[in-house]
Homo-oligomer: A and B are copies of this chain.
């Protein structure tokens, strides 16, 4: 159990550590990260044992299969955690990078230089790999990190943290650079969110209610990682075979994640040709279809979608299907019901593709590819802090660059302002 004063002290220690972290050279950070990756592998049985405790509780209290899947750690998932740390170590250090160089007429040389943000608080649910991914990304970018995971994963998170903390100490990272809040009481989050001036940024990852709650209470800037109501629009000019492969992948490859498709939009002109066989594929894969009346006239015997369905992130083998007149109507649907996360058009019509890419105001817009690619690792960022649905500071998959701010460094020779 932590006290109110204990929360404040932990935050202040992180602030103090962040000053030292900002000045570390890349080599020291990278060595620590590589050791961390190795230590994860070396201690995998300890992690799996602790994870079992969480899984037992989860089953006892009757968590859903999707949640249990997210909570589960096994060999491949532990290897992937270790690999993420090692690939983060291999990325170019963003700290100190000169983003822009301006020479002004009065001779002043202005350099815009990347610097760490400072202290970052992550509030997250379920997936325990978030613990190591966030520690890796924050350390690499010179930020101190405070972790507050969900109670359902508390044993797994603490196990992972302990392994990484031992390596951080061994490599002389500033004490307080990484910390975890073990107390799962809700008041602790409220107390953390009051620490403006100490914590610089809050990143909530999890369900809608968690994110709403954090945004309501926080006096610290928040980057929200909201839901993904992702669409695929199959245009008149689509390659039908490609469209089927993309749609199936976007829905069923891993339905419980935010970049999975939730709504399929089909151009009226190809609906009769496309929908019967597509819906059959979905049904064979166990997908429940909820569709508009027009879709049901083409493929009878499927459930009618309600207005609410179009807004819904199912995170499950359920898909809503609608027919639209053209790209414009598809864009309109997406802008009305979507969550501006990831949306795709399948088409061979270049004009429609460009229109869609320009006008759909989502973090990631695709032509002829599955929305499932929205991911920090896939984008080459090593891992991700999550996928921001905000437009301020960071949007889409957040990696180490998105964990930096900048400062202006100005070199003069005695210039004064006239």
Listed in ascending order, the chain A residues whose CB lies under 8 Å from chain B are 19, 22-23, 102, 104, 108, 110, 115, 117-118, 196, 200-201, 215-216, 219, 221-223, 239, 242, 245-246, 248-250, 253, 335, 357-359, 361-370, 372-374, 378-380, 390-393, 395-397, 405-417
Residue of B nearest to A359 (CB): B23
Q: A369 — nearest CB in chain B belongs to which residue?
A: B412
A393 contacts across to B, CB distance below 8 A: 392-393
A221:B221 contact, CB within 8 angstroms: yes
Can you list 25 pairs linking A and B with CB atoms under 8 Å apart?
Answer: A22-B361, A104-B378, A108-B373, A115-B361, A117-B391, A118-B361, A221-B221, A221-B390, A221-B392, A223-B392, A245-B416, A250-B416, A357-B409, A361-B407, A363-B408, A365-B408, A366-B410, A367-B410, A368-B412, A368-B414, A372-B417, A373-B410, A391-B405, A395-B407, A396-B408
The 7 closest A-B pairs by CB, nearest first: A369-B412, A249-B416, A391-B405, A372-B417, A393-B393, A242-B414, A221-B392
Chain B residues with CB under 8 Å of A409's CB are 357, 365
Residues in B neighbouring A245, C-beta threshold 8 A: 414, 416
Q: Which chain B positions have C-beta within 8 A of A22? A: 361
Kindly state the separation between the CA atoms of A408 and B379 in the bound complex, as whole angstroms.
10
How far, in whole Å, are A233 and B411 apart by their CA atoms in the complex?
A: 15
User: What is the CB-to-nearest-CB distance from A374 to chain B, in angstroms, rounded to a whole number?
Assistant: 8
CB atoms of A366 and B412 under 8 A apart:
yes
Given A22-B361, A245-B414, A370-B416, 14 more A-B residue pairs with CB atoms under 8 Å apart are A117-B391, A117-B392, A118-B391, A239-B414, A248-B416, A249-B417, A365-B408, A366-B412, A367-B412, A368-B411, A369-B411, A378-B417, A393-B393, A395-B406
| Cα A414 to Cα B249 with chains together (Å) | 11
Which residues of chain B are within 8 angstroms of A369 by Cβ–Cβ distance?
108, 410-416
A257–chain B nearest beta-carbon distance, Å = 10
Cβ–Cβ contact B414 & A407, under 8 A = no
| A395-B405 contact given A253-B416, A416-B253, CB 8 Å threshold | yes
- Asked whether, in the complex, the Cβ of A413 is within 8 Å of the Cβ of B368, the reply is yes
Known: A364-B408, A408-B379. A416 touches B372 (CB 8 A): yes
- Please, which residues of chain B bring their CB within 8 A of the CB of A415? 368-370, 373
Contacts of A19 in B (CB 8 A): 335, 361
The residue that A380 contacts in the complex, of B104, B365, B413, with Cβ under 8 A, is B104
A392 to B202 CA separation, bound complex (whole angstroms): 11
Are the CB atoms of B362 and A407 closer together than 8 Å?
A: yes
Q: How far is the CA of A118 from the CA of B415 in the complex (A)?
A: 38
With A219-B215, A221-B390, A253-B417 as known contacts, state yes or no: A407 contacts B102, CB within 8 Å.
Answer: no
Chain B residues, CB < 8 A from A405: 391-392, 395
**In the complex, which of the residues A219, A390, A417 has the most CB atoms of chain B within 10 Å of its own CB atom?**
A417
In the bound complex, residues from chain B placing their C-beta under 8 Å from that of A370 are 412, 415-417
